[in-house]
Chains A and B, each alone.
Chain A
C-alpha cells in the first residue's frame, strides 16, 4: 500500500521540485564572479553528470543481482538504468562541452573529466550494443550483467588515475582540495536541490520502465 502511494506521489514530487529548481537557477542564483550567467549551466550539468555515474553503478548492481538470483526483473532494471544512463551521459557531455566553449573557448580538450565522461559514454554504448546483439533473453541477461560488472572495474582508474595523467581546467567539485565548502549558500542549496531532483527523476523513470511488465516476470 505504501509503495502504491509512493509510486503515485513520485511524479508529482519530481515535477514540483523541477519547477522549483528551474526558478531558483534562473531567478534567484546570482551570477558568479568570472563565469557570469554561464554558471547557470552548471546547475543542470552537475546533476546530469551525477546521474550518469549513479545509473552506471545501479546497472552493475542489478547485473550482480541477476547473476545471483536469475530474476529477469533485475535484468530489466539493469537495462533500463543503462538506457537512462546513456541519455544522461549525452546530456552531461553536451552541457559540459557548451560550458567549456563559453568559458575556455573550446568544446573539447581532453580534460580529465571529459575523458572520464567519454569513457562512461563508451561503456554505455558498448553495453547497449551487446544487448542488441544477443538474441536469447537469458543469455543476454547473463552476458550483459557480466559486462556491466567487468566494465565497472575501470571506475578506480577513472576516479584516481586519469586526473593525474592530464592537467585539468575543470572547476573542482563542490568540496575543494582543502576540504572546505567554497560556495555561496544560495548556490549550494540550489545545486543540492538539483541533485535531489535529478536523482528522483532517475528513480521514477527506472522503475516506471519496468513497472508494467512486473506481473509477467519470469521466476
Chain B
C-alpha cells in the first residue's frame, strides 16, 4: 500500500506562482486524474510526486504503510511516461529497454520482449534494426508504455500518455491504466481528455493562475 501525500504544496518559478495550497492524498489501487489548462502545472505536479524537485512551500512525501520512501528507494519504485522522456536515439528499441530495465535489475528475454511489443502494438520485425531516433512519435509513445509496463513499477506517473496515439493507442492506455490500478498500483494521470478524466477514480483540478 503506497500513499503520496501533498500537504499545502505551493510551487513557483522565478516568482510566478504555478499553483498553491494543494492538499491531496493518493493511494495505490486508484487512478487520480490531474486536470487543468496548459501551463497550470500538471507536469510539475507529477515531478513533485516523483520528488524530482522540491516544492517552494509545503511538503510532498511518499509512504509505504508507515515508512517513508525516499531517494533511491522511491526512484526504483516509480516509472513515468512524459513528453520530455527520450530514448537513446542511437540504440534500438531492444537495446534501450535492455539498458533501462537492466539498471533496475530486470532482464528481458526474447519471448518477453516479443510479448511486450505485441502488448503495446509495435511490430517487432519493423523495429528490430531501427534506432529509436528514427521512430515516429506514435511509435516512441508506445515504446514509453512498454518501458512502463516492463518496469513493474508500483507508482505510475503519466503525463498525457494518450498524446500522439491513434484511437487504438488511447484505448490501450485506458485499458492498461485500469488494469494497473486493479493490480494495486498507484496511477497519477495528467490529462485534458474528457474520456480519460472520466475513467479516473479521483481528480485534482489545477485552476491556473
Chain A residues with a Cβ under 8 A of chain B: 70, 136, 138, 218-219
Contact = CB atoms under 8 A, between A and B. Distances in A.
A138 B57 contact: no
Nearest to B59: A219
B57 A219 contact: yes
Contacts of B57: 218-219
A7 to B, nearest CB: 28
Interface residues of B, number: 5
B101 interface: no
B54 interface: yes
Contacts of B53: 138
A204 B53 CA distance: 34
A219 B54 CA distance: 11
B56 interface: yes
Contacts of B54: 70, 138
**Secondary structure at chain B's binding surface: helix, strand, loop or mixed?**
loop
Contacts of A70: 54
A168 to B, nearest CB: 46
A147 to B, nearest CB: 20
7 contacts: A70-B54, A136-B13, A138-B53, A138-B54, A218-B56, A218-B57, A219-B57
Contacts of A219: 57
B54 to A, nearest CB: 6
Nearest to A137: B14
Nearest to A70: B54
Contacts of B56: 218
Nearest to A218: B56
Nearest to A139: B53
B7 to A, nearest CB: 12
Which 7 pairs show the lowest CB-CB distances between chains A and B? A219-B57, A70-B54, A218-B56, A138-B54, A218-B57, A138-B53, A136-B13
Interface in B54-74: 54, 56-57
B5 to A, nearest CB: 16
A164 B57 CA distance: 51
Contacts of A138: 53-54
A218 B57 CA distance: 7
A219 B56 CA distance: 8
A136 to B, nearest CB: 8
Nearest to A142: B54
A129 B138 CA distance: 42
Contacts of A136: 13
A219 B13 CA distance: 15
Interface in B23-75: 53-54, 56-57
Contacts of B13: 136
Interface in B63-94: none
Nearest to B13: A136
B10 to A, nearest CB: 10
A136 B53 CA distance: 12
A212 B121 CA distance: 60
Nearest to B53: A138
A136 B16 CA distance: 13
Nearest to B57: A219
A177 B54 CA distance: 51
A150 B57 CA distance: 29
A88 B47 CA distance: 42
A142 B205 CA distance: 31
B71 to A, nearest CB: 13
